Amino acid sequence: MKTPPISHWHQENLAELIHATGYIRQSLENKLEDKAIQPLEPDAILPISALATLCRLLYLTEFERDILLLCTSLEIDPSLAQLCAKLQGNPQLNYPTLALAIATFPHASWSVLSPQNPLQSWRLIEFGTALTLTQAPLRIDRRILSYLLGEAAFDEQLLGFVHPLAPQLEQIPLAPSQELIVEQLVAIWSELTHPLPTLQLCGGELTAKYAIAKAASMGLGYNLHVMSAAVLTQSPHEIHQIKLRWEREALLSNSLLLLDCDENFPQEPKQAFTVSQFVEQLQTPVIICSEERIYTKHNHLITFDVPPLTYQEQAEIWAIHLGTAANQHQDEITKLVSQFNLSNATIQAACQQLQLQKAQLPQSNLLWDFCRTQARPSLDSLAQPIETSATWDDLVLPEQQCQILTDIATHLQHRAKVYQEWGFASKGDRGLGISALFFGESGTGKTMAAEVLANQFRLDLYRIDLSAVVSKYIGETEKNLARIFAAAETGGVILLFDEADALFGKRTEVQDSHDRHANVEVSYLLQRMEAYQGLAILTTNLKNTLDSAFLRRIRFMVGFPFPEAPSRTEIWRRVFPLPTPIQDLDYQKLGQLKVAGGNIRNIAINAAFLAADADEPVMMKHILQAAQREYLKLKRLLTDEETRGWI
């Protein structure tokens, strides 16, 4: 293995450091022989050396510099320990001390004993254990020694939670809208003097904010390091130590800090205050990235909102990464861009995935499925994904209702053409959301219709848990709704608000603060639905409980009637899967059961289990038993009229 060549600067720097430590030996020898000690003038040190740079960055006096060099000399030349012992008149005191430095070097000052002295505040030296502070052993900090030697290093106290940007994130090209933000960041820090304002990147996708911060750091001549805000939930003393350690490292490595609050930003006021305090007291450049704005007590924080990539920007990024294959995928790109709000990094990964798997898998849905998986939102306990397998053949509805559902499908299929190519999106995002209200009794097919639409367009369907969304605390419901829509925007998933009347009931007359806030919740929901680029479906059993102003802003309304006998007969014909063994089923007679489609499915499944237990095909007798149990659950009596002639 070949050793890399030593650069010219490294050679000069090492020679300068050895020369400076030679001055320390000469000074100690002169002190021992009671000779005059000539100070090492700052001009005598090579300006580009690490020693000169360190003294300039940390504003070290000549005496503080000499103490640092004394500790450094012992690391380079261990034989200096004997000289220290002789000067201190004790063989056991074979190490540097403040007493030795004060007695030896010119311009000595007792200020070095202060905790605020640069030697101590910047942790340049470490004190050992002794009876007095001036007799305590001194040792140079390992990071500072590496810096003086010109060796690459990083503060070991910051390892594990402060790190350079991942290499793959450095290779993400920026879209024009993101490059504009970079130009603004660079201009602000280039034109303003210290103390530099804190810059904040809000919203947007995390990798995009990382890429913007990286580009800005390069434009300003800084290295970039990332720290998670999660470490700032420690004690005030530990936070103070982290701040001091980072400020020193930032000066030594010419770095700016990207404080990542996206995933771990504390929600408690006390923790939010800790983040604010850390940023306000930091004396080195810092950029915050977070989903929501962080406010500080002092007005020195400048915020930039990072919007999602535009339709045109996404299309151009797809074309760049697909290269020559872009033309053959043009129609697919149009569908992908209209459906998903993807980051540059995700688009790049999708194109790489296409190249890797094109030989093994059919390509018809490869890009779509990959993007759908990557854009799948994380909604925690606020929503549950629904597996979709229902098709149009499974849906039994009157012609009018089927036509409205077909219209919804048409809007989903052609929204890219209408909104983007035909320019409706340029008029603003209000009213571009596709919203629908499904109303009718339980079991009439509302959820199945949503499944059919999701399955047709290969979209994810999420049922919103209203009990988790609605909060008695003012402002919490809006926060939950914001989380749902923000997470869903990336993948344009179908949102199914079940039993919507519980959340979107009639707005009341304002009699107290709770009534006023309930109206605010409804208004907020209307705004988010109108701007949401996907399909939002509200289901309710009681249409009349919904506010009329709300209904005016719903694009589609589909009533799901209780099925009549012919419809129930058709549902029975379609309810059993093809592999299910059946025998002598009379669908006309089964259609006489006055239950909705959801109940019919329950009866069919229970009948199948009864038949499987008897090792028989599904017959009328099994359905009769299952129907009796379903009616008990519904607290109804199964009449002879409904089951006449079954057995």
Q: What would the mean pLDDT of 539-546 be, rounded to a whole number?
A: 74
pLDDT of residue 27: 94
Query: Is pLDDT above 90 for 28?
Result: yes
Judge whether 380 lies within some domain.
no
DSSP letter, residue 471: -
Q: What would the mean pLDDT of 574-600 be, rounded to a whole number?
A: 92
Judge whether 3 lies within some domain.
no
CATH, residue 298: 3.40.50.300
Write out the two tokens for 518. 């309930």
Last residue of a domain, one of 86, 121, 153: 153
Query: Is pLDDT above 90 for 432?
Result: no
CA pair distance 455, 391, nearest whole angstrom: 7
Spatial contact of 104 and 63, defined as CB atoms under 8 Å apart: no
pLDDT of residue 530: 77
pTM for the model: 0.78
Nearest residue to 296 via CA among 318, 280, 316: 280
Phi and psi for 364 in degrees, rounded to 5? -60, -40
Last residue of a domain, one of 514, 529, 560: 560
pLDDT of residue 268: 58
Least confident of 77-81, 88-92, 292-296, 315-319: 292-296
Judge whether 80 lies within some domain.
yes
Query: Is pLDDT above 50 for 303?
Result: yes
pLDDT of residue 621: 92
Least confident of 51-60, 456-465, 534-543: 534-543
CA pair distance 77, 100, nearest whole angstrom: 17
CA pair distance 35, 37, nearest whole angstrom: 6
Please check whether residues 497 and 613 belong to one and the same domain.
no
Q: pLDDT exceeding 70 applies to what percent of the chain?
A: 89
The per-residue pLDDT of the chain, averaged, comes to: 85
Spatial contact of 306 and 212, defined as CB atoms under 8 Å apart: yes
CA pair distance 322, 320, nearest whole angstrom: 6
Predicted confidence (pLDDT) per residue in 383-394, tens digit? 888 888 889 998
Please check whether residues 440 and 520 belong to one and the same domain.
yes
Query: Is pLDDT above 50 for 516?
Result: no
Nearest residue to 227 via CA among 263, 253, 187, 258: 258
Please check whether residues 391 and 530 belong to one and the same domain.
yes
Please check whether residues 482 and 534 belong to one and the same domain.
yes
Judge whether 592 lies within some domain.
yes
pLDDT of residue 514: 47
Query: Is pLDDT above 60 for 17?
Result: yes
CA pair distance 48, 9, nearest whole angstrom: 8
Query: Is pLDDT above 50 for 513?
Result: no
3-state secondary structure of 379: coil
Spatial contact of 16 and 49, defined as CB atoms under 8 Å apart: yes
Strands 138-140 and 125-127: antiparallel
3-state secondary structure of 173: coil
3-state secondary structure of 256: strand
Please check whether residues 497 and 398 belong to one and the same domain.
yes
Query: Is pLDDT above 50 for 150?
Result: yes
pLDDT of residue 504: 56
CA pair distance 353, 373, nearest whole angstrom: 13
Judge whether 165 lies within some domain.
yes
pLDDT of residue 467: 66
* pLDDT tier at 508, thresholds 50, 70, 90: very low
Helix ranges, 167-323 (H): 167-170, 176-191, 206-220, 236-253, 269-281, 311-322
CA pair distance 430, 421, nearest whole angstrom: 17
Query: Is pLDDT above 80 for 548?
Result: no
Spatial contact of 519 and 510, defined as CB atoms under 8 Å apart: yes
Predicted confidence (pLDDT) per residue in 178-224, tens digit? 999 999 999 999 887 677 888 999 987 888 899 999 999 999 999 99
Please check whether residues 370 and 397 belong to one and the same domain.
no
Judge whether 1 lies within some domain.
no
How large is the C-alpha radius of gyration of the chain? 36
Please check whether residues 451 and 398 belong to one and the same domain.
yes
pLDDT of residue 358: 61
Bridge partners for 201 per DSSP:
289, 304
pLDDT of residue 280: 80
If one counts the domains in the chain, the total is 5
**Higher local confidence (pLDDT), 477 or 612:** 612
Predicted confidence (pLDDT) per residue in 233-260, tens digit? 768 888 888 999 999 999 999 999 999 9
Judge whether 405 lies within some domain.
yes
Q: List CB contacts of 456: < 8 A, sequence separation 6 or more.
A: 391, 392, 409
pLDDT of residue 502: 59
Please check whether residues 143 and 290 belong to one and the same domain.
no
**Higher local confidence (pLDDT), 147 or 270:** 147
Please check whether residues 199 and 320 belong to one and the same domain.
no
- Domain containing 399 equals 385-560
**Higher local confidence (pLDDT), 145 or 485:** 145
Please check whether residues 194 and 269 belong to one and the same domain.
yes
Last residue of a domain, one of 325, 356, 375: 375
Spatial contact of 443 and 596, defined as CB atoms under 8 Å apart: yes
What's the full length of the chain, in residues? 647
Residue type for position 561: P
Q: What would the mean pLDDT of 435-462 be, rounded to a whole number?
A: 91
Phi and psi for 642 in degrees, rounded to 5? -75, -30
pLDDT of residue 269: 63
pLDDT of residue 361: 46
Please check whether residues 36 and 100 belong to one and the same domain.
yes
pLDDT of residue 360: 52
Spatial contact of 492 and 341, defined as CB atoms under 8 Å apart: yes
Please check whether residues 426 and 537 belong to one and the same domain.
yes
Judge whether 320 lies within some domain.
yes
